[in-house]
Structure 1
C-alpha cells in the first residue's frame, strides 16, 4: 500500500475525522465555536479566522490521505474523480516525446528504445532533494508546468502511478523502481529519506566509490536482479571521485491477447533503407481481426495490439520513405488521437498482418542528454542541499538502458531508466499490413494512461 505523508498539525489529522459530517450538520461557525470557544465574544470575528486555519489544515491532511490511497472509495459531493496518476500523465507524455526527438536528432538512422516513465520517476524523486533553480530545472525539464501542477500533486501522482503499475497481476508483470547509490561519507537529510520512501518506495544504497570495481558490481547486480536478468552491465568505469549514481529501471512482460502460432513465422526481407535489406523472422497473423487505421494526412498506418491484463502496443508504420515526415508530427496529442480512434469498432478489420520478431536495446548517458532539455544538475553549481548538507553535491553519472523482445507470445521489455486529421477506415476486404521497413512503437499502460516504452525500429537485426 502507498505511504501517505500528511501535514503536521497541533492535534494530528485524526482529530478531524468527523469534521465533514459535523460541519454539514451544524455549520462552520458552530463547529469552530465548539472546538475553540473564545474568552470574549467581542473577539469572535477576529479569532475565527485564526481558528479556521488549523481546521483547514486538518481537512487538507484528510484530503491528502484519501488521495494517497489507490483503491480507497471517494464519497460526497465534489469528490475528486481524476486519479493522481492521470493528473501527471500529460506531462509524462510530453517529456517522452521531448526525449525521443532529442535522441532521434542525435542518432539518425539508429534504433531507439527507452522508458520515459522510468526516467521521469527517477528524476522527480531526485527533485525532492533539489532546491532553488535546480529544483525548478528538474521539474520543468520533465515537462511539468509548476503554475498548473503543484509539487505535492506531482509526487502524489507518481506515488499512485508506481503503486498501480507494481500491483501484482496474474496476466501482466510490470516492475518500476529507482535507486540512489551514494558515498558512505554522505549524511542524508531525514526528510529526503522519508519522502523518497513515502512517494517512490526507494531507499539510498551506501557505496564505497574508492572501490570502483566492487561498487560497479553492486549497482549492476541490483539492476540485473530487479529486471529479471534483462539489464546487465548497466554502469562501468566509475570514477573514484564519484559521490552519487542514479539508476532507474522498469521491467515489463506481457502476453498478446491473440498470440501468433510459431509455425507461421518465416524469414523475410526487411528494408532498412533503399540500399540495405536484411532477413528477419516475420510473424504472420490472419486468424483475428486487427485494430488498425491509415491516416490520410500523416502518411502512415497505425496498428493496435492488446496485451492481456491492461496494456497495449501501438505500432506506427510510415509509408515508404516517410519516416521523417511522420516523426515531425509525432506528439502526445497525435498518439492520444490515434488511441482514441482505435477504440472504435469501425477500425477493427480483417487483415493479413506481418510483424517481425525482434530484440533491440537502447543505452543512454542521461548526464549528457538531459542538460539539452534544461535539466542541468550535473554540475557542481547544482543545488542538491535537500539531500545532504555537504556542499558541492552533484550527480556525477546517470545512465539509462532499455531492452525489448517481441515474439509470437508477447513482449518482454526492461529499462534501467493540435493536429486535425482525416482518417480512412480500414478496407472491408482483407488488406495487408506488413512491417517490413522502419517503424515506430509505443507500449502503453491503459490503467494509468502512461507511456511505458517508446522507440523506433530501424534495423531489427541489431540488438
Structure 2
C-alpha cells in the first residue's frame, strides 16, 4: 500500500460507519457526506478519557492504537495553508477536568477549554459554539447545534471542526464542462460533467475502479466507481486496500460531475449499531475526563463537500454532548449477623491492643460518658 494511503484501522472505521450511515437512510437521497477525520477526533478523545468497557467498545470501532490514530489525525492537518482543525471542550464551571485529559485536549491543533454557562444560558452557549464552528469552517457550517439541542442539563460539549480547501494541481477547463446524462438511482438526468485528459493514478480491483486526482499540499481526491451504474455495492477494506496498492499512473479521460453534498445527523443510533453502547448509559466510565460521573447524551455531526473546476472545499464538525450519569447503584449490603461466639481485636498502628473471645456477651448497659 502506498505510504500516502490512510491507516488500515482508520479505513476500517470509515467504511464501517459509512455502511451504517447508508443503512440508516442517509444514502437514500441525492447524496451525503461525513468526515471520518472529525468523528474519529471527537470519539478518539472521548475514548482517551474512558476506562473499562466504555473504552474497549470505542477502540473496537476506532482501532486499538488510539495514540497512533490521534497522532496520525494531527499529522493529516499539519502544515497545510488551507487546512484548519479546531477542538474545543466547553465545560460548566463547576465541573473539574482531569489534568491529563486537559493536556490531551490542549495538545490538539488549535484547541482549548472554554467555560460554558449551560445552566444559566444554554442557548447562548449554543450560539457561541455554532459561531466558533462557523469561524473554523469559513462559514460552510453555521448551524451544527439546532435550537433547543443544548439544555441546562449539559455538563460538557466536546467539539471538533475541520475545514479544507483543495486546489487541483491542474484545474479543469470550465470551457469543457457540459451537460451529459447521469444515471441516478431515480432515473437518468442531465448533469454538468467536467472533463480532462491526464495521467492519473488509476486502479481496478474486481469490478471496482478508482482514479485519484492530486491537489496541492499533498491533498488527493479519490473517485471510486462501483461495479455498475446505480449500484450500492458495499466497499470493503480489502477492496480499498487493493485499489491503493494497485494504483498506477495511466492516461485517463476523466468526466467528473461538479457537486455539492451536505449532511447533518445525530450519530447515536449509528454508533450503537457499531457496538458503541456503554458510553451512552449510566454505566459509562469517563473518569479520565472528570471525577464527575459523565455519560454521552448525543453525538451530532455535520459535513459539506463541494467540487468544481478549481478544486474541492470541505467542512465538518462533530459535537459530543455529555451529561451527568446517575451514580452507580451501590451493591446490597453484605449480611454480617454476630449471633454466635466471636473474636474481637482492637489495634492501633503496629500493635494489637486487645484480643478477646466472646462466647456469651454480657450486656454492659447503655453507653455512658
User: For 2:8, what is the secondary structure of its paired residue?
Assistant: helix
Tell me the residue number matched to 1:267: 179
Cα distance in structure 1, aligned partners of 2:60 and 2:226 = 32
Cα distance in structure 2, aligned partners of 1:181 and 1:190 = 15
Tell me the residue number matched to 2:237: 332
**Coordinate RMSD, CA, aligned:** 2.4
Mark the CA change 1:350 to 1:168 in structure 2 (over 3 Å): closer, same or farther: closer
Give runs of aligned pairs for residues 35-184 of structure 1, distance below 5 A: 89-107=7-25, 108-110=27-29, 111-142=31-62, 144-145=63-64, 149=65, 154-159=66-71, 161-162=73-74, 164-170=75-81, 173-184=82-93
How much does 1:239 deviate? 2.4
The reply on whether 1:220 has 2:220 as its aligned counterpart is no
How much does 1:322 deviate? 5.9
Cα distance in structure 2, aligned partners of 1:333 and 1:265 = 34
Tell me the residue number matched to 2:165: 253
Cα distance in structure 2, aligned partners of 1:114 and 1:307 = 20
How much does 1:319 deviate? 4.4
Cα distance in structure 2, aligned partners of 1:139 and 1:369 = 16
Tell me the residue number matched to 2:283: 381
Cα distance in structure 1, aligned partners of 2:312 and 2:53 = 40
Tell me the residue number matched to 2:201: 291
User: For 2:296, what is the secondary structure of its paired residue?
Assistant: coil
Residue deviations 1:249-302 (CA, integer Å, cap 9, x gap):
2211111122111122223332212x534433221223x23433444x32x432
User: For 2:28, what is the secondary structure of its paired residue?
Assistant: coil
User: For 2:300, what is the secondary structure of its paired residue?
Assistant: strand
TM-score normalised by length of structure 1: 0.62
Query: What stretches of structure 1 of length at least 5 have no aligned partner?
Result: 1-82, 418-463
The reply on whether 1:323 has 2:253 as its aligned counterpart is no
Aligned residues: 310
Cα distance in structure 1, aligned partners of 2:252 and 2:24 = 39
Return the structure number with greater helix share: 1
User: For 1:203, what is the secondary structure of its paired residue?
Assistant: strand
Tell me the residue number matched to 1:398: 299
Residue deviations 1:335-377 (CA, integer Å, cap 9, x gap):
12112222x34xx1242x2211110012121223212212221
Mark the CA change 1:301 to 1:141 in structure 2 (over 3 Å): closer, same or farther: closer
- Asked if the contact 1:361–1:403 (Cα under 8 Å) also holds between the matched residues in 2, the reply is yes
Cα distance in structure 1, aligned partners of 2:11 and 2:209 = 21
- Asked if the contact 1:196–1:202 (Cα under 8 Å) also holds between the matched residues in 2, the reply is yes
TM-score normalised by length of structure 2: 0.77
How much does 1:333 deviate? 2.5
Mark the CA change 1:160 to 1:91 in structure 2 (over 3 Å): closer, same or farther: closer
Cα distance in structure 1, aligned partners of 2:239 and 2:57 = 27
Cα distance in structure 1, aligned partners of 2:77 and 2:219 = 13
Tell me the residue number matched to 2:324: none
How much does 1:156 deviate? 4.8
Tell me the residue number matched to 2:359: none
Cα distance in structure 2, aligned partners of 1:301 and 1:94 = 19
Give runs of aligned pairs for residues 10-25 of structure 1, distance below 5 A: none
Mark the CA change 1:322 to 1:278 in structure 2 (over 3 Å): closer, same or farther: closer
Cα distance in structure 1, aligned partners of 2:170 and 2:155 = 48
